[in-house]
Amino acid sequence: MKRINTGQLDVAYLETGPASGSAVVLLHGFPYDVHSYDAAAQQLAAAGRRVIVPYLRGYGPTRFLNDDAQRVGQQAALGSDLLSLLDALSIQRATLAGYDWGGRAACVLAALHPERVSGLVSCGTGYNLQNSMQALKPIEPEKERLHWYWFYLNSERGKAALTQNRAGLCRYLWQNFSPTWHFDDATYAQTASSFDNPDFVDVVLQSYRYRIGAVPGDPSLNEMEKRLSAEPRITVPTIVLQGADDGVDRPEPPEKIKPHFTALRRVATLDHVGHNLPQEAPDAFAAAVLEIGKTA
């Protein structure tokens, strides 16, 4: 594990592969951590890629540098963190790949700073950007049902559950998000330790409360949120991977995904795979990252 000062964060990250290789940044989601990429990162490193896997804000050893910094988890913060990480590592262009929170960070950078992104592998819905300016607007009832935990975490009862029994709650989320993934106790425990970060609860609660309009965001990020809410098209070469058994983001037909991208290479839905796609299907995930690197 390595660490680097990005200005706001002391980011902990794993790095494998040759330093001279083309850079690939792999970004985890909630409630997961860098271990989602253990198998895929080894494959990419063996193929000559420089693989960077950071712990996101609020996870594992990553820490805020300023005690007064707002502990927010909104999309603009995640995208800003990613841009700052690339700057700190002197990486001018990278292939980005991720899911959930990490996929959102990757989409933010691909949409707003395409000159820094050579290719994108986005898991789940593909176009992971959120219209925070319409956070109070209801979506389809079925999607609201799938996002039940958003509303649970907006209650004091949900906050207490995340604070007092985060290991139990997050394990249930793993099962709910990936109902056909049969992970063992050791696999879960390896990641669950990342939820002991002192900022985990605050960052998670702000993320899920902000996205339904229950709390304000960081004022310094308002302009970026407005730009993202305009749903800018993503122009970098992109592959979208979806899990057929994803319990959160049900697979979307390609015709619904395509309008958000100008260089969409393909959309693939993987059978017997849930929300944590890189860990459940590392071979297919790594192959997509290598493929987009060749076509970018």
Give alpha helix (H) positions in the chain. Answer: 38-46, 75-88, 100-112, 141-146, 148-152, 156-164, 166-177, 185-192, 200-210, 222-229, 254-257, 277-280, 282-295
The fraction of the chain above a pLDDT of 70, given in percent, is 99
Mean pLDDT of the chain: 97
Question: Could you read off the pLDDT of 21-76 as tens digits, one per residue?
Answer: 999 999 999 999 999 999 999 999 999 999 999 999 999 999 999 999 999 999 99
Q: How far is it, in rounded angstroms, from Cα 163 to Cα 217?
A: 21
Local confidence band at 296 (pLDDT 50, 70, 90 cut-offs): low
Each residue of 127-172: pLDDT tens digit? 999 999 999 899 899 999 999 999 999 999 999 999 999 999 999 9
Is the predicted pLDDT of residue 78 greater than 80, yes or no?
A: yes
Strands 9-16 and 50-54: antiparallel
201: amino acid identity, one letter: V
Q: Which domains does the chain have, with CATH numbers?
A: 2-295 (3.40.50.1820)
Q: Say whether pLDDT at 226 is over 90.
A: yes
The CA distance from 224 to 61, in Å, is 27
* DSSP secondary structure letter of residue 26: E
Specify the pTM.
0.97
- pLDDT band at residue 206 under the 50/70/90 scheme: very high
- The H or E element that residue 119 is part of is strand 117-123
Alpha-carbon torsion, ordered 92, 72, 70, 205, to 10 deg: -160
Pairing of strands 238-243, 117-123: parallel
DSSP 289: H
